[in-house]
Chain A
Amino acid sequence: MTRQAPPRWLQRALVFLLAPRDRETVAGDLLEEYREEQAPRLGTLRANLWYLRQSVSFLSIRSAGGPPVKAALTWVSVATAGAGIWLAVMENILKHAGYGVRTAVAAAIVAEALGTLLFLVLDSRPVFRLIVLAGAAALGALGISAIARNVSGPHFEGFVLIVGCLLVAQAVMTFAVVLRAHYPKAV
């Protein structure tokens, strides 16, 4: 006998959103509830919508600072550090006017990216957490400023736009991860 079940892609999406520890147990709980209560009572379509709603609830609660965002933040931090190093190297090769200040800014970008990576590994002390948050705020502001100047300026540079977006993404994700991990609000 074929049992009713939510669409396979939806089940996979739920599993993706769950922490490894919960993948089997939570997916099993929801499948059981779907089969024994929701589908017989609501019909397939509405039961699927129920399953979708429950899955989305993990997106909003877990992924805001949960494993998927942490993983993404790790890669964004690596990319940001790489971009900062590349900027510093190029500034020192080209040596345009004001390159010293821009090199210092690039070094700060690298420091914040490496600090975020360290934070992700160590999940450490409140002082470090505040430094990472302050750095993220500065990176976000720098990113927004870079994007605005690039879009409104006379010379559009794709690389600057990419770096600006990276900085903003890193800032937003850092806030999500840090606040979720250390200041969880009462649900």
Chain B
Amino acid sequence: MLGAFEQAVLLAVWKLADDAYGRGVLRGVQSALDREVAAGAVYATLDRLEQKNLIASRLEEGTPVRGGRVRRYYRVTAAGVKALNESKAALEQMWRGARWPLESNA
């Protein structure tokens, strides 16, 4: 099962579809988690997900606002979609039988 942060990054890539490059993913993760997120953490997670073949990347030309530097676009692979679905299913399975929000049973 994917970690919570990995899920947030992977979901951000999936939601952005064709616009999933680093900056967009960073903003997407921040928006999903509703807090500022360190860029280093997001890029490290993107690297790790790519090593696991859950995402793939390609380079495209840069724009003047970024000094012409190339953009790396990401897309979720079939294995990535499967991993996300399994993570969601595992979470739901884990919560089955528990009424949310939990109340103290002490």
Contact = CB atoms under 8 A, between A and B. Distances in A.
Interface of A: 3, 22, 24-33, 35-36, 53-54, 56-62, 184, 186-187
Given A33-B26, A187-B5, A27 B40 contact: no
Interface string B1-33: 001011000000000000001110011000000
A74 B70 CA distance: 31
Interface of B: 3, 5-6, 21-23, 26-27, 38-41, 43-45, 47-48, 59, 62-63, 65-67, 69-72
A24 B38 contact: no
A183 to B, nearest CB: 13
Give 6 closest A-B pairs by Cβ, nearest first. Answer: A28-B69, A57-B40, A57-B38, A28-B66, A29-B22, A186-B3
Interface centre among B67, B70, B71 (most CB of A within 10 A): B67
A30 B39 contact: yes
A57 B26 contact: no
Contacts of A22: 43, 47, 72
B38 A53 contact: yes
B40 A62 contact: yes
Given A25-B71, A186-B3, A31 B40 contact: no
Contacts of A35: 65-66
A13 B63 CA distance: 22
Contact of A25 (B5, B27, B45, B72): B72
A3 B65 contact: yes
B69 A25 contact: yes
B44 to A, nearest CB: 5
A32 B40 contact: no
